[in-house]
Amino acid sequence: MDILITGLILGGTYALIALGLNLQYGVSRIMNLANGEMLVIGAFAAFTLFTVGQVSPLLTIFLVAPLAYVLNWLVYRIMLRPLVKRAKNRGMLEVDAILTTFGLSFVMVGIMIWAFGGDYFSYSYLARPITVFGDNYGLNRVVAFICAAVLCAGLFLWLNVSRAGMAIRAVAVSPENARLVGIDVPKLSARAFALGGAVTAVGGAVISTFLTLDASTGVMFTMKALIIVIMGGVGDVRGTILAALVLGVGETFVASVIDPGLTLVAAYALFILILLFRPQGFFGKKPT
């Protein structure tokens, strides 16, 4: 029970990060390997504002989200759009996107190390116990989970109900046909990419309330978010949330029963199972 709840709480925050990546990959068709660094930037912002000005991380979110949106929009327009234009097919774009976002990720890590140093950073926010079903959990974890759940639900509703959400889903399903019904695909791709980055940065601010991070931990989160996106299926919000929870529980189980140093091995075990048995994701249909 203890493991299940801790795992679900962790999975909830993973879901937020993976949703950001899924928006970027599912809609803009950019496999963004600098996603984890966006998370660390969000976390850095929350950390800095909390230690300098005692600003609650939950308020920082409202600052981080628009800034990350603008930053990611610029990245897409300036760096990625030319690649989309010059790519002859999807495979070429994938290779270029992977190399570029890798480069970007290293540049961001390099700048962060240069500016802030390579030390771990953490702060104490709401670090008191709270009792759930007879066991004690950190209040910060529970608050982070609630925060993530609200954001995930909001995003899910927005994508499914609003007109803009429908347009985004249309691009995710088929960019060619979306163009035919009068959707401005390049504009929407840039917006989806920016939104994905903003969601991930918010996830970073939330996760920094209970995890210790350093400038180079981003790639770990990118890795996990990628595994979640593939488990859940590209462009599938329900699948992503379910996969994130599965990964959170699986990781917590391995960490507490076998060894805390084996979390990535646990993630890989899940990854291999998915690749072998359901490469199209939890809810995906078999391609014919």
Partner 1 sequence: MKRADWQNLGWGAALLVVAALLPLTGDGYLISLGVSIAMYTVLATSWALFSGPTHYISLATAAFFGIGTYVMGSGIEYINYWLLLPIAGLIGGVIAALVGLATLRLSGVYFVIFTLGLAEMTRQAVTWYQNQTGHKGTYVLTELTDPHIYWQLLALAALVFLLGWAIGRSKLGFALRIIGDDEDVARHVGINTALSKVALFVVSGATAAIVGAMIAPRYIYIEPATAFTPMLSFQVVIMALLGGTGRLWGPLVGVIPFTLLWEAISSSFLNQTTLLLGLSFLAIVYLLPGGFVGLYDRLRGRAKKRSAMA
Q: Is 94 in the site for partner 1 (CB under 8 A)?
A: yes
- What are 33's two structure tokens? 């390997």
Q: Is 3 in the site for partner 1 (CB under 8 A)?
A: no
Q: Is 109 in the site for partner 1 (CB under 8 A)?
A: yes
Cα dihedral 172, 177, 178, 183, rounded to 10, equals 160
Nearer to partner 1 by C-beta: 88 or 163?
88
Residue 221: CB minimum distance to partner 1, A:
12
Residue 226: CB minimum distance to partner 1, A:
5
Compute the C-alpha angle 230/235/239, nearest 5°.
60
- The helix (run of H) or strand (run of E) holding residue 189 is helix 185-207
Q: Is 118 in the site for partner 1 (CB under 8 A)?
A: yes
**Burial (CB count <10 Å: 0-12, 13-18, 19+), residue 13:** buried
* Whether the Cβ atoms of residue 282 and residue 232 lie closer than 8 Å to each other: yes
Output DSSP code: residue 284.
P
Among 99, 150, 166, 173, binds partner 1 (CB under 8 A): 99
Among 8, 58, 81, 96, binds partner 1 (CB under 8 A): 96
Among 177, 184, 187, 259, binds partner 1 (CB under 8 A): 259
Nearer to partner 1 by C-beta: 48 or 216?
216
Query: Which residue, 9, 15, 72, is CA-closest to 224?
Result: 15
- What are 171's two structure tokens? 């691009």
Judged by CB under 8 A, the stretch of 57-65, 125-133, 243-251, 268-276 that binds partner 1 is 268-276
**Within 10 Å of residue 123's Cβ, how many Cβ atoms?**
14
* Whether the Cβ atoms of residue 39 and residue 204 lie closer than 8 Å to each other: yes
Question: Per-residue contact track with partner 1, 155 to 194, x per CB under 8 A?
Answer: ----------------------------------------
Residue 185: CB minimum distance to partner 1, A:
21
CA count, 13 A, side-chain hemisphere, 59 = 8
Under the rule (CB under 8 A), what is the footprint of partner 1? 31, 33, 82-83, 91-92, 94-96, 98-100, 102-111, 113-114, 118, 216, 219-220, 223, 226-227, 230, 259, 261-265, 267-268, 271-272, 275-276, 279
